[in-house]
Amino acid sequence: MTPLRQRMIEDMRLRNLSTETQRAYVHYISGLARYYQTSPDQLSLEEIREYQLHLVEERLLSAESVNTFVSAANFFYTVTLETPWPEGALPRARVPKRLPVVLSAGETQEFFRHVTTIRYRAALMTAYGAGLRVSEVVALQVGDIDSRRMLIRVRQGKGKKDRYAMLSPRLLEVLRAWWRAQHPAGQAHKAAPEEWLFPGYRRGRHMNVGSLQTVCREAAQMAGIAKRVTVHTLRHSFATHLLENGADVRMIQVLLGHSRIDTTARYTAVSPATIAKTQSPLEHVLPPRRR
């Protein structure tokens, strides 16, 4: 590892950036160095802008990926190298507004019918039943399940924030069934609070995110669902189904851990049932029709 990379990693750690963000930033700065075959601290702003254009026009990266490169470059040059860049030196790409993919209630039932392995079924039902992100599901510990208050504690979710999610009675049944299957009667085992709820096959590790995503994708295919289904699709479906059942948008915001209400409000756009139930103000303006 070069001293420059080490310095950048230390700068990111000092600012408590997530492991995923650190990995992405290093990836994009390494790509920049490989492209020019030189140390990135020797590059001019104009060369960096040319590389950004290369990512857009030749690599055909998504707007989100290009913007991640911009964030990585801004961090590396203005923080690690302390370069006095002008504000907005690298323009951000406009991100298209896309509606989230959501399963109907029938599709959700059919999906879970095709998840036959109990450990993956319990994990995916947790994602849907509590509206958790995939990283939050696999990182759950035994002590995070509060069956007395019917809550799930989510530790250090997105944005390094703790929050509580709902624990429904049906989900609690599923988790208890999974626990009994993992620890059959007669096998002495006292669970420690810090024990992984969904342990991985490697000792001391939790369930792998990639394996859970693979099972999710395969179950959707076997269920005949044409949509692109990921674990995050279950989180989207959780929010939309809550909305359709009359839950308040601000309560959904809290459950999902969104910082901004407009992030949560987009679910109203994918819920035809909610739109259909909403009464037009025209109904209060015109007099009722005589029969």
Is residue 158 among the annotated active site residues? yes
**80-138 tens-digit pLDDT:** 999 998 888 999 999 887 778 889 989 999 999 999 899 999 999 999 999 999 999 99
Catalytic-residue membership of 232: yes
Whether 235 is catalytic: yes
Q: What's the rounded mean pLDDT across residues 59-67?
A: 94
* 170 has a pLDDT exceeding 70: yes
**Per annotation, catalytic residue among 158, 206, 217, 266:** 158
Give CATH 1.10.150.130 domain extents, the chain: 3-80
Q: At what angle do helices 45-57 and 19-36 cross, to 10 degrees?
A: 100
Give residue for tokens 């079924």.
Answer: 121
User: How does the average pLDDT of the chain come out, rounded?
Assistant: 87
| pTM, 2 dp | 0.71
Rounded to an integer, the average pLDDT of 23-32 is 96
Distance from C-alpha of 60 to C-alpha of 46, rounded to nearest angstrom: 20
Q: Residue 286 has what pLDDT?
A: 61
- 133 catalytic per annotation: yes
Q: Residue 48: is its pLDDT beyond 90?
A: yes
Does residue 280 carry a pLDDT above 60? Answer: no
What is the enclosing helix (H) or strand (E) of 151?
strand 151-157
Given 133, 163, 236, 241, the catalytic residue: 133
Please give the order of strands across the beta sheet that includes 145-146: 145-146, 151-157, 161-166
What are the start and end residues of each CATH 1.10.443.10 domain in the chain? 105-276
Whether 114 is a known active-site residue: answer no
Q: What share of the chain is helix, strand, coil (3-state, %, to 5)?
A: 55, 5, 35
Q: Are 167 and 147 in contact (CB under 8 A)?
A: yes
Question: E strands, the chain, where?
Answer: 145-146, 151-157, 161-166
Annotated active-site residue in 119, 235, 236, 241: 235
Tell me how far CA of residue 20 lies from CA of 13, 46, 68, 132, in angstroms. Answer: 12, 28, 12, 17
Confidence of residue 159 (pLDDT cuts 50, 70, 90): low
Residue 116 CB: number of other CB atoms within 10 A? 11
Give the C-alpha separation, 100 to 227, whole Å.
11
Amino acid sitting at position 216: C
Burial 35-52 (b: 16+ CB within 10 A, else e): beeeebeebeeeebeebb
**Helices and strands (H and E) in the chain: how many:** 14, 3
Which tokens in the block code for residue 234?
Answer: 């279950």
The reply to whether 258 belongs to the active site is yes
Cβ atoms of 223 and 111 closer than 8 Å: yes
pLDDT at 101: 87
Please answer whether residues 266 and 99 qualify as being in contact, where contact means their C-beta atoms are separated by less than 8 angstroms. yes
Domain 105-276, CATH: 1.10.443.10
What percentage of residues in the chain have a pLDDT greater than 70? 88
DSSP letter assigned to residue 164: E
State the distance between the two ends of the chain, measured CA to CA, in whole angstroms. Answer: 82
pLDDT band at 22 (very low <50, low <70, confident <90, very high): very high
Q: What CATH number has the domain spanning 3-80?
A: 1.10.150.130
Residues 141-153, mean pLDDT to the nearest whole number: 92
Of 284 and 250, the structure prediction assigns the larger pLDDT to: 250
